[in-house]
Amino acid sequence: MSTFESVLDSFLGHARRRPDAVLFDLPDGTTISYGATAESVHHIAARLRADGVQPGDRVAMQVDKSPEAIALYLATLQLGGVFLPLNTAYTGGEVDYFLGDATPRVLVCTPAREAEFRGRTPASTVVETLGTEGDGSLLLSRDTDRDVHPATPGAPASILYTSGTTGRSKGAVLTHGNLASNCDALREYWRYTAEDRLIHALPIFHIHGLFVATNLTLTTGARMHYLPKFDADAIVDLIPRSTVLMGVPTFYTRLAADARVTPGLCAEMRLFVSGSAPLLAADHVAFEKRSGHRILERYGMTETGMITSNPYEGERRPGSVGLPLPGIEVRVTDRETGAPLTGGEVGGIEVRGPNVFSGYWNMPEKTAAEFCDDGYFRTGDVGRFDDDGYLSIVGRDKDMVISGGFNVYPVEIEELLDAHPSVAESAVIGVPHPDLGETVVAVVVAAPGHTPVEPDLIGAVADRLARFKQPKAVRVVDALPRNVMGKVQKAELRKRYAELFTDTDTCA
Ligand code: MLC
Ligand code: AMP
């Protein structure tokens, strides 16, 4: 008999054993227990089953953060469904692609966007709504469905879209085994227990907020202060009553600049975790000075979950993402030959283990292209191991910008800009930004007889691109720098505009 325990099984076990234990601490001072959350999961499961959800069916969600959204995630797993959360910033046009590709049985949207989505989903997709005030059609069922579809480690649990550096977005299919194994590794590595009180201020449509922060809490029987979004005032207020914070580097840059954060305020905290984007060594040091705590930086990716982490008890090194997590193999290889490098040289980072996803949804060729013959997955990140086995990320082979922890793929923006009549060609780059780490800048060449104007260009892409992807500045140049092969030299452009936002006079 299998001993596999899925994230859902683990949560339901806590709900059975300690139904009154608190899971959610909400900003208005109310709480929701494990038992009450399980009931909500079973009501939503009844609704989804009535909508026709069968094992393997996708359930898509684009809603604001609420406890019921977590119940929806768990209800989908209960039915053997595949959970597909979408960034709330995506425009209707962006969502169209995901719906067309993943063909969900159910789409759950906000009440405000119901009419829009009813108009754009195929007849085979049922549209449900979910608000943040306990409202929405999803919550209307009074029936209770407790029938749990047994999860196997290899069965798909979720699809998370990660935009491609070329072509269309790819849906990374994560299995129950991926989610559970990563949780097990992190629980042990970070000493996460039922006594923990997490400050949860991340969005729940990415692995950081959902499969790290939420899953760790659900599977340990811990509780979380569940905030709608990052809010420095609320976090400062909660720190004395909490033990753990998980965030992207922007959280720590902001908190390090906040005089209310002191070692005294943070005396009860035991762990500050940072990830999803590079944490500058200087910010690591500044936060320690401010709070008396050394941030624990870890490294992960949608396709792989968490890969490496600085140790809980050993040395946490600024500028390093730490050591491979238990059960996960990480190697650095020569980017030309693919040969493993052992002498601390810089190369491509590759990962193998139970955390690595099963493939891209309906894209067998793209999946095959990202895996080596011996099963290692190519992350597209570039790094090196030092003599003590600590990994540092020094760059990326993939053309991607990470703005405040959200990934932006330049090709998507370039295609839209190139279609504008005043633009002959464009190159989109990421430049350093004091708050967001990196931000998006477009460099364009004018079409003959035209003069591109920044607000016009931004306006032209605005209704097609989520706000966080829109360029924060546009620069017009005579020609894009190219190498002898004719390839645009983005590194040269990044150098040229490196101080666009760090120079305080021009800071936006
Ligand atoms: C918000 N805005 C952003 C932005 N977030 N612009 C660029 N980049 C971002 N990340 C814009 C909004 O559209 C809005 O624009 C304005 O900023 C204010 O919005 P806000 O919601 O009030 O912003 P703020 O609270 O400041 O949010 C910043 C943030 C947030 C950093 C707190 O983006 C965030 O929580 N990021 C976390 C992302 C995350 O979870 N990543 C994990 C990916 S998983 P306007 O102009 O309309 O006012 C992954 C793997 C791994 O990477 O290893 O974890
Ligand atoms: P995503 O595709 O959204 O999951 O983003 C994953 C990418 O974020 C990784 O491939 C890295 O490039 C980056 N990333 C995650 N954590 C870190 C970190 N601690 N330091 C640097 N980059 C990181």
pLDDT (tens digit, 9 = 90+) per residue, 20-37? 999 999 999 999 999 999
Q: Is 309 in the pocket of ligand 2 (CB under 6 A)?
A: no
Q: Is 403 in the pocket of ligand 1 (CB under 6 A)?
A: yes
Task: Tell which CATH architecture fits domain 401-506.
Answer: 2-Layer Sandwich (3.30)
Q: How far is CA 305 from CA 91, 182, 335, 458, in A?
A: 26, 7, 23, 34
Give percent of the chain with pLDDT exceeding 70: 98
What's the 386 CA to ligand 1 centre distance in angstroms?
Answer: 32
Residue nearest to atom 35 of ligand 1 (CA): 202
Q: Is 119 exposed, middle or buried (0-12, 13-18, 19+ CB in 10 A)?
A: exposed
- Give the three-state DSSP class for 250: helix
Q: What's the CATH code, domain 7-23+33-151?
A: 3.40.50.980
Q: Is 209 in the pocket of ligand 1 (CB under 6 A)?
A: yes
Q: What is the pLDDT of residue 507?
A: 39
Q: Is 381 in the pocket of ligand 2 (CB under 6 A)?
A: yes
Q: Is 284 in the pocket of ligand 2 (CB under 6 A)?
A: no
Q: Is 467 in the pocket of ligand 1 (CB under 6 A)?
A: yes
How do the domains of the chain map onto residue ranges? 7-23+33-151, 401-506
Residue ranges of alpha helices (H) inside 263-395 are 281-291, 364-370
What's the 305 CA to ligand 1 centre distance in angstroms?
Answer: 20
Q: Is 203 in the pocket of ligand 1 (CB under 6 A)?
A: yes
Q: What is the pLDDT of residue 166?
A: 65
What's the 302 CA to ligand 2 centre distance in angstroms?
Answer: 8
pLDDT lower than 70: segments of the chain: 1-2, 164-167, 503-508
Q: Is 392 in the pocket of ligand 2 (CB under 6 A)?
A: no
Please state the atom number of ligand 1 nearest to the C-alpha of residue 306: 53
Q: What is the pLDDT of residue 164?
A: 66
Q: What is the pLDDT of residue 508?
A: 40
Contact at 8 Å (CB) between 60 and 88? no
What's the 380 CA to ligand 2 centre distance in angstroms?
Answer: 10
Mutate to test the pocket of ligand 2, among 402, 438, 468 (most ligand atoms within 8 A of CB): 402
Any idea what DSSP says for residue 139?
G
Q: Is 231 in the pocket of ligand 1 (CB under 6 A)?
A: no
Among 224, 246, 376, smallest CA distance to 309 is for: 246
Q: Is 320 in the pocket of ligand 2 (CB under 6 A)?
A: no
Residue nearest to atom 32 of ligand 1 (CA): 230
Q: Is 208 in the pocket of ligand 1 (CB under 6 A)?
A: yes
Phi-psi region of 502 (alpha: psi -120 to 50; beta: other; left: phi over 0): alpha
